A and B are shown apart, each in its own frame.
Chain A
Amino acid sequence: MPKVAIVGVGQSAFVRSYPGSIREMVFDGFQEALTDAGMSAADIGASVVCSAPEYDKQRSPSGVFAEYLGLNPQPTVYVETLCSSGSTGVRLAYSLVASGLHDAVAVLGFQKMSEISSAETQERMGRGGDIQWESPFGTMMPAYYAMFARAHMDAFGTTPEDLAEIRVKASTYGQLNEKAVYRKAVTADMFADPEHRMAGTVASPLRVGDCCANADGSSCIIVASEEKADALARKPIWILGTGAASASVNLAGRDLFSGLSVAREAARQAYQMAGIGPDDVDVAEVHDCFTIAEMMAYEDLGFAEPGSGKDLIRGKETYKEGRIPVNVDGGLLSKGHPIGATGGSQIRTIVMQLRGEAGEIQVQHPSIGLVHNIGGVGLYGNVTILGR
């Protein structure tokens, strides 16, 4: 297989309500990535646009963006796997480049969630479940993940306090991330105070503080061939492994409730392709849409044995100075989760870490990084492994 590189990364600030249209928001991430790569729009052979279409007023946004970004007459295509759309876009770009069809592909992720109300957002997210057989019971994303939290607690003795510590870690780094939507400190005391907003139950056992916020934002990852990458001034980051998987949308079709089978399968594929194991990973970004999702990711990715994820957070092993730093950019919990932009933002963080350009959140000399990006409640799973 030919080598495939990431040569440019960018993202807009993730904000509560973006003061512009979707094409303008996507421009922000694209401009940053193109400048980062030292390329111009004419160097881009094709674009892949990633979002969850139920939030979009614009039908078929890829055509609109291609024109606005100066990417005509190059081809463009839209991909969707709910919250993991961005990683799916990078996987597709990988194949377009590895096949020799294109030598540089821009992966554009975006979501403008602020155009609809929070209740409408929850309803749309819930419809990412099985609308025929589950949604009529009144399902929501937090409740689905809460069912996994309950099962994890029952099986392994994981506690609400352990989950709170994941949010505390996220806020430690979110405060340093000027592109994060939530930049305030979160402490364990807040969860312990029943009167505090963070401690309010959303869907038992998950509380407000266990959930990430909606946000508007865009991201852009430029994927290129080895030849193209070598011609650029900046040292490329290589895609060493990519894994992807799917599972039953209805929970009745699942067998695992203390982890996500798609994450385990995608990780297995990605590790095998990269020829590495979990112990070789120096820094990771995982899909912490809820605190329990990060806890399960520790175990599904092999950073801890099933049931031992709580020991990682209790020992602060996933902090910047720990054995396996996870989400040291604040994660989805602090950055916010603009669905289609999330995967690209995670990849951007790992690329900056591997380049040694992560500033205050820089992990010591990482050579291999991993991105775990999940769509729905483990409906789609993507794991991408990057290296210097």
Chain B
Amino acid sequence: MATKKDVDDRFKKFGTVSFTAISKTNDFIDYLEQGKVMGTRCGACGKSFFPPRSNCYRCLDNPMEWFEVSGNGTLVTYSRLQFAPIGFEADLPYAIALLDYGDYKVFGRISSEIPEEELSIGMPMRTRVNELPNGQLNYVFEKSDS
């Protein structure tokens, strides 16, 4: 019988504050710890999903395989925040953004090392795992030539 400490709550490690503890995509966190940002691909129809999901709504089946988000995406849009929700104040200022990888898109943060003036829509960027000051893990976008 499962005891309390058997609860697989790995997902609470995602982002500055995670609002989810338990997910069938908890392996995403293990991959982050290995330095990899992973999506899932349906083994039946081949559709790529990011964020990763454990079910394919097209096939109504779950033969999901992990794939790594690698190479360049292009910056679709972004915004730099001067105010933050509760729990995120220490991260300010930070920019959230969307990258387009063709088959899928990735929502995340821009690396804090890139000033806003150096951002432009359409620029190539890549996704990298990032450890936050509070020990949590997320991923950020950086210039693809850096």
B-binding residues in A (CB < 8 A): 119-120, 122-123, 126-127, 130-140, 142-144, 146-151, 154, 200-206, 250-254, 257
Contacts and interface: CB of A to CB of B under 8 A. Distances in A.
A204 B96 contact: no
A326 B89 CA distance: 37
Interface string B77-120: 11111111111100100101110000011111100000010000
Nearest to B28: A133
Contact of B18 (A136, A200, A252): A136
Interface residues of B, number: 40
A256 B107 CA distance: 14
Contact of B105 (A126, A148, A151, A251): A251
Interface of B: 11, 14-20, 23, 50-51, 76-88, 91, 94, 96-98, 104-109, 116, 121-122, 136, 138
A204 B116 contact: yes
A140 B105 contact: no
Given A136-B19, A204-B116, A151 B121 contact: yes
A253 B81 CA distance: 22
A119 B106 contact: no
Nearest to B101: A252
B144 to A, nearest CB: 19
A203 B20 contact: no
Contact of A138 (B11, B81, B122): B81
A250 B39 CA distance: 14
Contacts of B76: 151, 257
A149 B78 CA distance: 9
A198 to B, nearest CB: 14
A140 B80 CA distance: 11
B128 to A, nearest CB: 14
A200 B98 CA distance: 24
Contacts of B50: 252
The 3 closest A-B pairs by CB, nearest first: A136-B15, A138-B88, A146-B79
A150 B116 CA distance: 12
Given A138-B85, A140-B85, A150 B15 contact: no
Nearest to A207: B82
Nearest to B25: A132
Contacts of B85: 119, 122-123, 126, 135, 138-140
Nearest to A141: B85
Contacts of B107: 130, 133-134, 137, 250-252
B84 A140 contact: yes
A138 B96 contact: yes
A214 to B, nearest CB: 14
A257 B77 contact: yes
13 contacts: A123-B86, A134-B107, A137-B16, A138-B87, A140-B85, A144-B79, A147-B98, A150-B121, A202-B81, A251-B98, A252-B51, A252-B98, A254-B105
